[in-house]
Structure 1
Amino acid sequence: MPRHVAIGTVLIALLAVSRAWQGTPEAAQAPKPIRALYVTGGGFHEFVKQEAIVPPAVARTANVTWTIDHTAGTSTEVLIDRHKDTAWTKDVDVVLYNMSFSHVVDVPWIERLAAAHRDSGVGAVILHGAVHSYRRSTTRAWGEMMGAFSMRHDAQRPLTVETVAKGHPIMRGVPETWVTTPEELYELERTWPGMTPLAQAYSVESKKTYPLVWTNTHGRAKVFVTSLGHNTAMVADPVYLAMVTRGLLWTVGRLGEDGAPMAGYAAR
């Protein structure tokens, strides 16, 4: 066989192999990390300690990159610069709110923030103090976004938590019944139709049972909420952190039915 023909045959074979390899899933472009924003600060809680726990724990399981906004300091009435408009929605896929802005009552401010999630589809994860943020305002826009509104909580005590949505992927690995460290049970005064309870606990003060883990759909946005997390011991609990991580993945549509991150969205 002429030398130039042999070389041509080899080149064609190599090209075919290269094209075949490029068509395999392994060679496909890997999914981009989930862009997550962590908004924290305010009073009453150990937000500095919790900031060192929550984002790193999520990143150990999920393919996520974090932006941290702790500009609020310890004020419960600050209007953080990031929320002065809705431009932030272009840069993130999900926001995890672990803050206490309980004395912010500005109606246009609160309604703009809730509408930003509703209209953009940016997911929201809301932990403990963030549930009671904005509650003193006359608007219920934040509660509508969460799917529930609460004004008060019980005194701290260990809570017996009952999982009520055992098959939900967010609750994979969460015991059907478990007892927390001392926590505050938020008494829900109102819920909205899109709210789905995942776990609940009984109030010895009001003699009623209240959801303390739930999901909500708010316009285009998916929202995961837990009122647990007052104390850092609860926030650092592996069961709690795994549940929050699954909740975050659920809000962006990257949680499998088995409770694991979808392909490409596990930590690398």
Structure 2
Amino acid sequence: MTHRLLVHTRTTGYRHDSIPAALAAVGRFAGFTVDATEDPAALEGDLSRYAAVVFLSTSGDILTEASRAGLAAAVESGTGFAGVHAAACTEEGWPWYTGSLQRSRFAGHPPYGPGRVLVEDRAHPATAHLPAEWDWSDEWYDFDPCPDPAEVHVLLRGGQDRHPLAWHHRQGRGRVFWTALGHADGAYSDPGFLAHLRGGLEWVCEGRG
């Protein structure tokens, strides 16, 4: 089966130089067809032809009221959603996005650098390939509040306080996957990270219903 993705990369805040590499990497995943856009109007109306919407290092306020309504209706009715890296600092003034879709708020990050990721779930498609501890370099996003483990299933932890870095949950009938990783170009040629991202995308798409 081929899954159709609507991949949104609009930014009104910081724009990551890695967006072209990220978009190219997702476009090379077997089993997916990608429609890439930076037009908010692409999220208006019926999105049922898509297995999932992906916000790929989006930032700032990027949607209109009509596209907000389209995204919320799609996820609530069963379309998957994946948020990658700076998607966590997108639409911060929209309560449905931060409260229901993300279940957290971005609170900054230290400078890009090396760290260690702790894998909480070794069975999920996004993490099954990873060792129990994974050495990685990234922007180590902080969240306030952190996603509540009672509301989301935490996949990865990291940072000084070992807060969640990747998680999933359901919103309405839609599956939702978040990963805070993916800052640099090099992430999108790294086999471990690519398998993490692809596994998350497969998981949200397979829940379409």
Task: Name the TM-score, length of structure 2 as normaliser.
Answer: 0.85
Look up the match of 2:3: 34
Structure 1 residue 152: Cα displacement: 1.8
Look up the match of 1:82: 42
Q: What aligned pairs does 1:249-268 form with structure 2 within 5 A after superposition?
A: 249-253=202-206
Structure 1 residue 253: Cα displacement: 2.2
Look up the match of 1:239: 192
| Structure (1 or 2) with the larger CA radius of gyration | 1
CA distance in 1: counterparts of 2:158 and 2:67, whole angstroms: 29
Q: What do the CA deviations read for 1:3-47 (whole angstroms, capped 9, x no partner)?
A: xxxxxxxxxxxxxxxxxxxxxxxxxxxx4x211121113242121
Q: Which residue, 120, 143, 155 being the options, matches 1:198?
A: 155
Q: Greater RCO between the two (CA within 8 Å, min separation 6)?
A: 2
CA distance in 2: counterparts of 1:217 and 1:147, whole angstroms: 11
Identity %: 22
Q: Answer with 44-53 or 109-118: which moved more.
A: 109-118
Contact 2:10–2:38 (8 Å) recurs in 1: yes
Q: What aligned pairs does 1:48-127 form with structure 2 within 5 A after superposition?
A: 48-56=20-28, 58-59=29-30, 63-71=31-39, 80-83=40-43, 85-87=44-46, 89-104=47-62, 108=65, 111-127=68-84
Contact 1:160–1:201 (8 Å) recurs in 2: yes
Instruction: Supply the AA of the counterpart residue of 2:170.
Output: T
Q: Residues 219 and 236 (structure 1 numbering): CA distance in 2 closer, same or farther, change over 3 Å?
A: same
Instruction: Supply the AA of the counterpart residue of 1:99.
Output: S
Q: Does 1:228 align with 2:178?
A: no
Q: Which residue, 170, 175, 192 being the options, matches 2:126?
A: 170
Q: What aligned pairs does 1:129-144 form with structure 2 within 5 A after superposition?
A: 129-135=86-92, 137=93, 139-143=94-98, 144=100
Look up the match of 1:44: 15
Structure 1 residue 226: Cα displacement: 0.3
Q: Residues 51 and 149 (structure 1 numbering): CA distance in 2 closer, same or farther, change over 3 Å?
A: same
Look up the match of 2:141: 186
Structure 1 residue 126: Cα displacement: 0.9
CA distance in 2: counterparts of 1:126 and 1:105, whole angstroms: 15
CA distance in 2: counterparts of 1:91 and 1:237, whole angstroms: 30
Instruction: Supply the AA of the counterpart residue of 2:6.
Output: L
CA distance in 2: counterparts of 1:105 and 1:67, whole angstroms: 17
Q: Residues 215 and 69 (structure 1 numbering): CA distance in 2 closer, same or farther, change over 3 Å?
A: same
CA distance in 2: counterparts of 1:187 and 1:155, whole angstroms: 12
Task: Name the TM-score, length of structure 1 as normaliser.
Answer: 0.68
Q: Unpaired runs of 5+ in structure 2? A: none
Paired residues in the alignment total 201
Q: Residues 97 and 251 (structure 1 numbering): CA distance in 2 closer, same or farther, change over 3 Å?
A: same
SS for the counterpart of 2:6 is strand
Task: Provide the aligned C-alpha RMSD in A.
Answer: 2.2
CA distance in 1: counterparts of 2:131 and 2:190, whole angstroms: 13
SS for the counterpart of 2:89 is coil
Contact 1:94–1:124 (8 Å) recurs in 2: yes
CA distance in 1: counterparts of 2:6 and 2:68, whole angstroms: 19
